[in-house]
């Protein structure tokens, strides 16, 4: 009997894509199927995979080429759903990213779905149980990123805490994790640890200014604006992930995949700051 195969198209931001890839890798381990990952740049993450991470033997990832946009891109309104036609011919079964959450709630058997079939999936989340230890195994940032991570870690105190304060377009984080709650956590840690410092990852310059004004050099944070539309901005996000992972505890934003991803990378304790 044939083992089957999976074509994975990771979607969303960096943490979302890491979740999807790690979950697919776990599926491959458990089923023995063949797999391939095609990495598309888009508005949510406009950077090639290999500008962020090193090549490893574990991940069969390639950057999307022109023909891939016709055959394997996610079928959606912006491409008039045209890739759906060749995909129906090339694959026995397809699961789109918006279908995964309902399938998980139904208890869908993704292992049985993939085994022995030619399958296609686009995903921005985990879809089977995925051990946290996989993330540090699968993903190794390029040297340019890790040199900047190490530069930040070198100025960490023994009690450096991570702060991920998500703003801009994330409605749940804005509503449930207001900045004043993070400020309360900072004051609590300073009262407990005289040497407390805080690595701040945020997509809001206003938040950076407020915390720097209140806490001065206890706050460690990049000066660059967080962006998704260029390579430098995406690399900055990965720097944030690995720096947060190196702290002794992360205070994260409600509903944020980025916060939880940093915790998984470093097996770092996390507390979601929420009303």
CATH for 215: 3.40.50.11350
Verify that 186 and 238 share a domain, yes or no: yes
| Gap between the Cα atoms of 263 and 257, Å rounded | 10
Percent of the chain with pLDDT strictly greater than 90: 92
By C-alpha distance, which of 238, 253, 236, 199 is closest to 221?
A: 199
Look over the chain and give the mean of its residue pLDDT values, rounded to a whole number: 95
Give the side-chain half-sphere CA count within 13 A for 165.
23
Verify that 103 and 162 share a domain, yes or no: no
Rounded to 5 degrees, φ, ψ at 199 are -90, 120
Question: Is the Cα torsion angle 228, 234, 238, 240 positive or negative in sign?
Answer: negative
Verify that 189 and 215 share a domain, yes or no: yes
**Averaged pLDDT for residues 56-74:** 97
116: left (phi over 0), alpha (psi -120 to 50) or beta: left
* Domain end among 97, 116, 133: 133
* CA-based max dimension of the chain: 65
Verify that 174 and 87 share a domain, yes or no: no
Summarize pLDDT for 100-154 with one digit per residue, the tens.
999 999 999 999 999 999 999 999 999 999 999 999 999 999 999 999 999 999 9
Q: How many domains does the chain have?
A: 2
Verify that 113 and 171 share a domain, yes or no: no
Verify that 84 and 189 share a domain, yes or no: no
pLDDT of amino acid 63: 98
Verify that 123 and 152 share a domain, yes or no: no
Strand order in the sheet with 93-95: 61-63, 34-39, 5-10, 118-123, 93-95
Verify that 151 and 116 share a domain, yes or no: no
Summarize pLDDT for 80-110 with one digit per residue, the tens.
999 999 999 999 999 999 999 999 999 999 9
* Domain end among 99, 133, 167: 133
Helix segments in the chain, DSSP class H: 14-31, 66-71, 84-90, 97-105, 110-114, 133-138, 143-153, 171-176, 179-192, 205-215, 231-245, 257-266
pLDDT of amino acid 126: 97
pLDDT of 41 above 60: yes
**Range of the structural domain that residue 155 is part of:** 142-273
pLDDT-derived band of residue 3, with 50, 70 and 90 as boundaries? confident
Verify that 61 and 100 share a domain, yes or no: yes
pLDDT of 174 above 90: no
CB 199 within 8 A of CB 243: yes
Q: CATH number of the domain at 22, please.
A: 3.40.50
By C-alpha distance, which of 172, 141, 160 is closest to 248?
A: 160
pLDDT of amino acid 273: 97
pLDDT of amino acid 1: 52
Summarize pLDDT for 185-241 with one digit per residue, the tens.
999 999 999 999 999 999 999 999 999 999 999 999 998 777 778 999 999 999 999
CB 47 within 8 A of CB 14: no
Question: If you compute the radius of gyration of the chain from its CA atoms, what whole number of angstroms results?
Answer: 20
Verify that 225 and 254 share a domain, yes or no: yes
How many angstroms separate the Cα of 210 from the Cα of each of 117, 200, 214, 242? Answer: 54, 12, 6, 23
| Gap between the Cα atoms of 165 and 188, Å rounded | 17
Verify that 149 and 239 share a domain, yes or no: yes
* Domain end among 83, 106, 133: 133
Secondary structure class of 12 (helix, strand, coil): coil
Query: How many CB atoms within 10 Å of residue 247?
Result: 25
pLDDT of amino acid 272: 97
| Gap between the Cα atoms of 177 and 275, Å rounded | 6
How many residues are present in the chain? 275
Verify that 149 and 72 share a domain, yes or no: no
DSSP letter assigned to residue 82 = T
pTM attached to this predicted model:
0.94
pLDDT of amino acid 248: 98
């Amino acid at each position: 009997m044939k083992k089957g195969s999976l074509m994975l198209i990771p979607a969303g931001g960096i943490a979302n894509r890491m979740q999807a890839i790690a979950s697919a890798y776990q599926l491959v381990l458990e089923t023995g199927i063949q797999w391939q990952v095609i990495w598309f740049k888009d508005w949510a993450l406009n950077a090639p995979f290999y500008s962020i991470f090193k090549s490893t033997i574990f991940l069969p990832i390639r950057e999307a080429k022109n023909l891939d946009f016709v055959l394997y891109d996610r079928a959606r309104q912006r491409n008039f759903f045209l890739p759906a036609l060749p995909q129906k011919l090339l694959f026995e079964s397809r699961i789109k990213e918006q279908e995964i959450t309902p399938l998980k709630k139904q208890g869908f058997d993704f292992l049985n779905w993939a085994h022995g079939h030619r399958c296609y999936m686009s995903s921005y989340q985990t879809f089977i149980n995925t051990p946290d230890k996989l993330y540090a195994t699968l993903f190794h940032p390029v040297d340019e990123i890790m040199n900047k991570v190490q530069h930040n870690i070198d100025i960490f105190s023994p009690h450096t805490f991570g702060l991920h304060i998500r703003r801009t377009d994330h409605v749940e984080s804005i509503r449930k994790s207001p900045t004043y709650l993070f400020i309360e956590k900072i004051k609590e840690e300073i009262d407990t640890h005289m040497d407390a410092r805080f690595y701040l990852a945020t997509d809001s310059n206003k938040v950076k200014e407020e915390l720097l004004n209140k806490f001065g050099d206890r706050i460690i944070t990049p000066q660059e604006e967080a962006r998704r539309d260029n390579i430098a901005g995406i690399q900055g996000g990965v720097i944030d992930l690995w720096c947060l992972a190196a702290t002794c505890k992360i205070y994260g934003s409600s509903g944020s995949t980025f916060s939880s991803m940093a915790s998984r990378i470093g097996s770092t304790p996390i507390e979601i700051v929420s009303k």
